[in-house]
Amino acid sequence: MTYQARRYLLMTVDPVHIGTGGYRLGRVDLAIAREPGTHLPKIPGTSLAGVARAYAAARYEKLRCAGQGQPRKDTAGKVIPNTDHCGEAACPICYTFGYAKGDEGSGYAGTVSLFDATIALFPVHSLAGPVWATTPGRLREAGFVVTGPAPAPDAAVVTGGWNKPLNLGWLMLPTTGGAQVQPPGPCWLGEAEPAWQAIQNRIVLVDEGLFSQVVNANLEVRTSVSIDPFTGAAATGALFTYEAIPRAAWLAFDVVEDDYRRDPKKPWPVDKTHLGKPLGETWASPHDVAAAGLALAEWLGVGGMGTRGFGRIRLMGHWRPDQRLDQQGGAQ
Ligand SMILES: [Zn+2]
């Protein structure tokens, strides 16, 4: 079996702005990437794959293997040697994310695919303090075990003890209690478990139809202005607004490993003893390399507006999406 899926949960540590590269008429100048069907913001898999590759290359000191792999040229237009992807079979970056050597016409596809991160738990201000809005369907799709009543189209079901009407931003909803949400098994990374416990009893389940409105009404919208480099003052007409997924939002995404290059009779071809050493981590599969890159996004961020303090994401946990608590007694 060469396929192995991992489902990750990430939490935004800052607001995250992944632009669409275009303008949307109306509310903001710089809109963020969204799922077309639900209109919910997402972090595209291409963005995650880009940072995973770039940061893994930094961690494993294989900077030439980051990026697109186009060789650099000097001022005379001559190709500078050793500036494209190395393409070595034992290179963790080229093996994991693939490479193409244009001059030789050689290349391999990568052995991991990263998919879009979709919103699982969305923080909203309410009179009960911060709560995390979601839907039973979204949580179950991410792998959580959800019990209790299903929310009516115009009402909310809550975990924890709240028993009065509750506002999600400007939207006031009657509530019912009795919901419980559990992860599919032991899955938390590092210090993530206390963060989960802090929100576990502050979850508000709403109907799928309402969820998109709740999210889109509670995105972070900021206004910035461009500074004229000659005067040091705000440039005329340079005020712009942009939206972002707020901090403390939880998103789920899949990474699928297809280690088609692996010879089952041999160990993983990458030289672990040499390349893994400075990291103090074992890494024995493309999954490990992708995770090592994504882990650095907690410091270096993803998406735009990084210099404005945007973009850091933290991996909170992972499990195998084909493995459920009720079937297997816990995820690995
Ligand atoms: Zn390489």
269 pLDDT band, cuts 50/70/90, is: confident
> From the CA of 20, how far away is ligand 1's center (Å)?
30
Same domain, yes or no: 23 and 107 = yes
> From the CA of 97, how far away is ligand 1's center (Å)?
9
Same domain, yes or no: 21 and 106 = yes
User: Does residue 292 belong to any structural domain of this protein?
Assistant: yes
User: Does residue 97 belong to any structural domain of this protein?
Assistant: yes
Strands (E), the chain: 3-12, 42-43, 98-101, 106-109, 112-114, 117-126, 129-134, 145-147, 156-158, 166-168, 171-173, 175-176, 180-182, 203-205, 220-227, 234-244, 250-258, 313-319
User: Does residue 92 belong to any structural domain of this protein?
Assistant: yes
Domain total for the chain? 2
DSSP letter at 329? S
User: Does residue 224 belong to any structural domain of this protein?
Assistant: no
Same domain, yes or no: 109 and 60 = yes
Same domain, yes or no: 174 and 99 = no
Does pTM surpass 0.85? yes
Query: pLDDT (tens digit, 9 = 90+) per residue, 54-89?
Result: 999 888 888 889 887 777 788 888 888 778 888 888
Query: pLDDT (tens digit, 9 = 90+) per residue, 164-207?
Result: 999 998 899 999 999 999 998 888 998 899 999 999 999 999 99
DSSP, residue by residue, 150-168: PPPTT-EEESSS--S-EEE
Count CA within 13 A, CB hemisphere, residue 49: 20
Same domain, yes or no: 274 and 213 = no
Same domain, yes or no: 137 and 107 = no
Same domain, yes or no: 178 and 94 = no
- What count of residues does the chain have? 332
Query: pLDDT (tens digit, 9 = 90+) per residue, 107-121?
Result: 888 999 999 999 999
Q: With 90 as the cut, is the pLDDT of residue 315 above it?
A: yes
Query: pLDDT (tens digit, 9 = 90+) per residue, 281-300?
Result: 667 889 989 998 999 888 88
> From the CA of 93, how far away is ligand 1's center (Å)?
5
> From the CA of 21, how far away is ligand 1's center (Å)?
30
Q: What is the extent of the structural domain holding 183?
A: 124-218
44 pLDDT band, cuts 50/70/90, is: very high
Instruction: Indicate the average pLDDT of the chain.
Output: 85
User: Does residue 229 belong to any structural domain of this protein?
Assistant: no
Q: Which residues contact 5 (CB under 8 A, 6 or more apart)?
A: 254, 255, 256, 257, 320, 321, 322
Q: Which residue among 218, 252, 276 closes a domain?
A: 218
| Spatial contact of 313 and 286, defined as CB atoms under 8 Å apart | no
- Residue 214 to residue 151: CA distance in whole angstroms: 14
329 pLDDT band, cuts 50/70/90, is: very low
User: Does residue 236 belong to any structural domain of this protein?
Assistant: no
Same domain, yes or no: 107 and 253 = yes
* CA-closest candidate to residue 245, choices 136, 116, 52: 116
DSSP letter at 308? G
Q: Which two tokens stand for residue 202?
A: 């502050």
- Residue 91 to residue 68: CA distance in whole angstroms: 16
Same domain, yes or no: 269 and 320 = yes
> From the CA of 289, how far away is ligand 1's center (Å)?
12
> From the CA of 252, how far away is ligand 1's center (Å)?
29
> From the CA of 90, how far away is ligand 1's center (Å)?
8
Same domain, yes or no: 87 and 28 = yes
- β-partners of residue 314 are 11
Same domain, yes or no: 272 and 315 = yes
User: Does residue 214 belong to any structural domain of this protein?
Assistant: yes
User: Does residue 235 belong to any structural domain of this protein?
Assistant: no
Same domain, yes or no: 136 and 203 = yes
Least confident span in 20-24, 134-138, 271-275: 271-275
* CA-closest candidate to residue 18, choices 177, 328, 253: 253
